[in-house]
Copies of this chain bind each other. A is one copy, B any other.
Amino acid sequence: MFTDRLTNVQTAVQAALDAHVAQYPAGQLRDAMHYALQGGKRLRAFLVLEGAAIFDIPTEKAMPAACAVEALHAYSLVHDDMPCMDNDDLRRGMPTVHVQWDEATAALAGDALQTMAFELLTSPALGTAETRIRLVADLAQASGAEGMVYGQALDIAAETAPTPLTIEQIIELQEGKTGALIGFAAKAGAVLAEKDPAPFAAYAKALGLAFQIADDILDIEGNEDLTGKRLHKDAEAGKATFVSLLGLAGAKTRATELCDLAIAALAPYAQGADSLRDLARFTIARKH
């Protein structure tokens, strides 16, 4: 069942991340990295591991890539929560890193978590050097100045823009900010198997947008106890979101259409991809 599989992934990924961090020299930096890696839905790790399972690649072989994408995601959250960025004090139900320690520790822990992500992709468990360098290149493209960080920069710029963003601009922003890393995660299994990642790219493109629309809906309808983060921030800041542009009902319809699109992209993989189909349904139905 999907939720059991997700729980299993969460447990296994947490153990692997904790074990990796434990190798670093003890101190506040390591403590903050460990702290920033606790909890989370692990949807990106789930994408990596279930995508790999479609090609019969065992969990232990794909695990360093699953951990890499979670470390990369964690770094982005730590920096994004800092006062100079989104200034959030709550994340995954806990004080954010700069609240728990200080801003310097948050800056450094985020920096070192990004490094850790690339370090994990050098793990021999992932396969040949060709496969690993391909993953490094893919992660860099997904997360840097043409991927996630580009989307974050557009998001920051939007806060001071004279007019709210259009739907096309929001889609470009989100394809960078959240879509690119989801795309990396969804394709990683096929890359590990040396198969064509194109169907997974199409799946991820629809899934990523559906995920963001669901996030915008949760920001309106959600419960802070369940989401573990501050809500209603976008509306208070007067930011354009999928909900402000499409309306609540329109946003829900769009999310459902994108979920169907994501599922359709997996047609080549029959039952092997059922958990990725379940993930698409979960993404738009989740309460956190």
Contact = CB atoms under 8 A, between A and B. Distances in A.
A146 B24 contact: yes
Contact of A140 (B82, B116, B149): B116
Instruction: Count this chain's copies in the assembly.
Output: 2
A114 B116 CA distance: 12
Smallest CB-CB A-B distances: 5 pairs = A115-B144, A84-B103, A119-B140, A129-B129, A29-B153
14 contacts: A21-B145, A23-B146, A27-B157, A79-B108, A104-B156, A105-B156, A112-B144, A115-B140, A115-B144, A118-B139, A118-B140, A122-B137, A122-B140, A129-B133
Given A84-B102, A128-B129, A111 B149 contact: yes
A79 B105 contact: no
Interface string A19-40: 0010111011110010000000
Main secondary structure of the interface of A (DSSP, over half): helix
A130 interface: yes
Contact of A133 (B107, B116, B132, B144): B132
A257 B260 CA distance: 69
A150 interface: yes
A85 B114 contact: no
Contacts of A119: 136-137, 140-141, 144
Interface in A227-278: none
A186 interface: no
